[in-house]
Amino acid sequence: MYRYLNPVYASQGVFTNLLGLGPVAANEMPFPKAVVAADPGASTQDNTLVMNIAADVAVMPTVVSGADFSIAGDTVTFAPRTTGALTDTLQLRSGVDITLSGTGVDTQKVYPRQGPV
């Protein structure tokens, strides 16, 4: 699994490297934080899913419910519509699931310092 970060609007506290993730269960795919769609500077986070599966095993990856996660080809996208912790399920086939999780955040406001520098 490779992680690509949106360098323009990624929120503060994104993973600086894959070692910073810590242990992750085999059936989980965490995403860095993303700015919610209704906010200025809305962002998305993408994970590329690389699977080596025998040709005779029928899989059809789909996101089971919700609208915060989607899949197109080998890219799973997290585009939060609300703030807070969000989860969904990526189903490869009946009984074979991966839990998707991410956090939607508001746009980080930066205020200039007033007065002499």
Interstrand relation of 28-30 and 96-105 (parallel, antiparallel or unpaired): parallel
Is 16 in contact with 7 (CB distance < 8 Å)? no
In this predicted model, what pLDDT tens digit does every residue of 46-80 receive, in sequence order?
988 888 888 888 888 899 988 999 999 889 999 99
Query: Taking the CB of residue 23, how many other CB atoms lie within 10 A of it?
Result: 5
Query: Is residue 6 pLDDT above 50, yes or no?
Result: no
At 87 the three-state DSSP class reads: strand
Residues in the chain: 117
From the candidate CATH numbers 2.40.50, 1.10.3470, 1.10.20, 2.60.40, the one assigned to the domain spanning 2-105: 2.60.40
Among 21-25, 56-60, 90-94, the range of highest mean pLDDT: 90-94
pTM recorded for the entire structure: 0.71
In this predicted model, what pLDDT tens digit does every residue of 97-109 receive, in sequence order?
999 999 999 887 7
* 86 confidence band (pLDDT: 50, 70, 90): very high
Is 54 in contact with 92 (CB distance < 8 Å)? no
CA-CA-CA-CA torsion for 83, 103, 77, 62, nearest 10 degrees? -90
Mean pLDDT of 34-50: 88
